[in-house]
Chain A
Amino acid sequence: MISSNLSAIFYLISGILFILALRGLSSPDTSRQGNYFGIAGMTIAIIATFLSIGNFSNSFLYVLILLILGGAIGAFIAFKIPMTAMPELVAGFHSLVGLAAVFVAIAAFLNPEVFNLGISGNIKLASLIEMSIGAAVGAITFSGSIIAFLKLRGIMSGAPITFSGQHYLNLFLGLGIFVMVYYLCKIQSENIFWTLIVVSFLIGVLLIIPIGGADMPVVISMLNSYSGWAAAGIGFTLENTALIITGALVGSSGAILSYIMCKAMNRSFFSVILGGFGADNSSSDTKEKKDQKPVKSGNAEDAAFLMKNASSVIIVPGYGMAVAQAQHALREMVDKLKKNDIKVTYAIHPVAGRMPGHMNVLLAEANVPYDEVFELEDINNDFANSDVAFVIGANDVTNPVAKTDPKSPIFGMPVLDVEKCKSVLFVKRSLSPGYAGIDNELFYRDNTLMLFADAKKMTEDIVKNLD
């Protein structure tokens, strides 16, 4: 058994190790070391907790068994999950943190003596506020993440679900939370505490259902942030430094990522939260255009010819590439091009995948060296000096309409200037619009060659034709 002062020092050390874990991610070289710091921080925090309680009876054995059981499940998932499914995985993991926060808050409410929060029915006021915030945010994180998980997994349609009075209902329930916390502090009734948790679950569901599939990167980042604030709320209740530091780190990290994602889509955070984007409300407009304009289409042979005679090629991958599992074929193609002394780089839009940085992971999985992969602002000027842009599975992020048409829903969104290349190769199944539901003007340009096929099959055919 160790004193509470000593355990507080250990918690501080683990908090610092967590900061170093995030710091490591500033470059891929230091990132692996950073992850070990994180693991060390977690180990220290858990061992310090065991030692400070000093209860090594049968219960300790149960705890170890559950720890190993949960760990085995987690490890199994971590090794089995395909990289395309990372967004679902992260959403699923967020829901677990949220639910764990709710359970800890419930445990603290039912048995406040062991947490030094007073006695049941007469819990310290500050602790009561902190634990109800932790429980409410945790519950919202849990149910919100479940909905996000179902939408990403495709079990639930990505289309936004809206009904009249939705925002008023959310507002009403949100205010209800404050009222309940107030009365909970006054009369400390168990029923109010349970109602609080149930209403928070409901808010989580209502908050995420109106948000469309295209906004999912923001939602995941936002839930990331919530899970941090929930942890911080519990950290205040337990007077635990490690939890407070971690909660603050995770909370601000998620908030920054949401901001980056919103900016990349030129959407205000509030309009994402209010939802409804991604609904098919501009379809009539697109159908008209589709029938009229001529499109140049080609085959793998044409594409191979164009690229062979180029001196520089920029690849613009999108989520469609990952869905078709074309990343390995793509890298094969790039290897062939490089053998012919053609300079090849990759251009990645911040929302190219389903979550921040998703496309980078997918390319890394296909053994693409990370120093050939560039972010939008670093490569956008290079399109004008390049011969071929090879767009595979991306659409909205290349649409020049975002720069020219103020009426377009994506106007103002930063896009990749692929049209400035001498020629653009566009691998796509059909002319159908992307997530935003708007037509891409690029399809009808003179320097665009459409390659209508499955991304993987087309890339493989090009590889054959490059020989």
Chain B
Amino acid sequence: MEIDPFIFRLSIFILSIFVGYYVVWSVTPSLHTPLMSVTNAISSVIIVGAVIAALATTSDKSFSPSSIFGYLAIILAAVNIFGGFLVTQRMLQMYKKKKKDKK
């Protein structure tokens, strides 16, 4: 009997939870704020769904109820992607080591 593709996706999902678990525990506590902003940025990869909704129409028209929701979601996700990655970058730039030359 053939395995339902859903099971494959479920496997990916569960394995990723395990990967996430171990990777996140190894994040140093001093970087927990950047961790939150970067996870926020990457979860905006939901934009791929928005792009499909906006572009993959069956008709020739640019606007349909479903594509409009797609366009709206693109704006929201774009704010998040750029905002999230840039603010993370800004924070990470500030973390510096002690300067060796003391005086």
Residues of A within 8 A of B (CB): 11, 14-15, 18-19, 21-23, 25-28, 31-32, 34-35, 38-39, 41-42, 45-46, 48-50, 53, 55, 57-60, 62-63, 66-75, 77-79, 81, 83, 86, 89-90, 93-94, 96-97, 99-101, 103-104, 106-108, 110-111, 113-115, 126, 220-221, 224, 227-228, 231-232, 234-254, 256-257, 260, 339, 348, 350, 353, 355-358, 360-361, 364-365, 367, 369-373, 375
Contact = CB atoms under 8 A, between A and B. Distances in A.
B44 A97 contact: yes
Interface centre among A72, A78, A232, A355 (most CB of B within 10 A): A78
Interface string B28-51: 111111111111111111111111
A246 B39 CA distance: 8
B45 A375 contact: no
Contacts of A253: 20, 24, 35-36, 39
Given A59-B62, A256-B24, A369-B96, A38 B73 contact: no
Contacts of A21: 38, 42
A458 to B, nearest CB: 25
A114 B66 contact: yes
Nearest to A28: B95
B62 to A, nearest CB: 5
A22 B45 contact: no
**3 interchain residue pairs of minimum CB distance:** A70-B78, A357-B32, A74-B83
A63 B71 contact: yes
Contacts of B77: 70, 96-97, 100
Secondary structure dominating the interface of B: helix
Contacts of B24: 22, 249, 252-253, 256-257
Contact of A251 (B17, B84, B86, B87): B17
Contact of B43 (A67, A70, A103, A228): A228
A370 B95 contact: yes
Contacts of A50: 51, 55
Interface residues of B, number: 84
A100 B76 contact: yes
A256 B49 CA distance: 27
Contacts of B76: 70, 96-97, 99-100, 103
A104 B70 contact: yes
Nearest to A86: B33
A86 B92 CA distance: 13
Given A11-B48, A228-B39, 18 more contacts: A19-B23, A28-B28, A31-B92, A32-B92, A41-B42, A42-B81, A74-B83, A78-B90, A81-B87, A100-B77, A103-B50, A107-B66, A110-B66, A224-B36, A236-B9, A244-B13, A246-B42, A357-B34
Contacts of B29: 260, 350, 356-357, 360, 375
A372 B41 contact: no
A15 B41 CA distance: 13
Nearest to A241: B12
Nearest to B84: A93
B43 A247 contact: yes
Contacts of B39: 22, 224, 228, 249-250, 253-254
Contacts of B27: 22, 25-26
Interface in B73-103: 73-99, 103
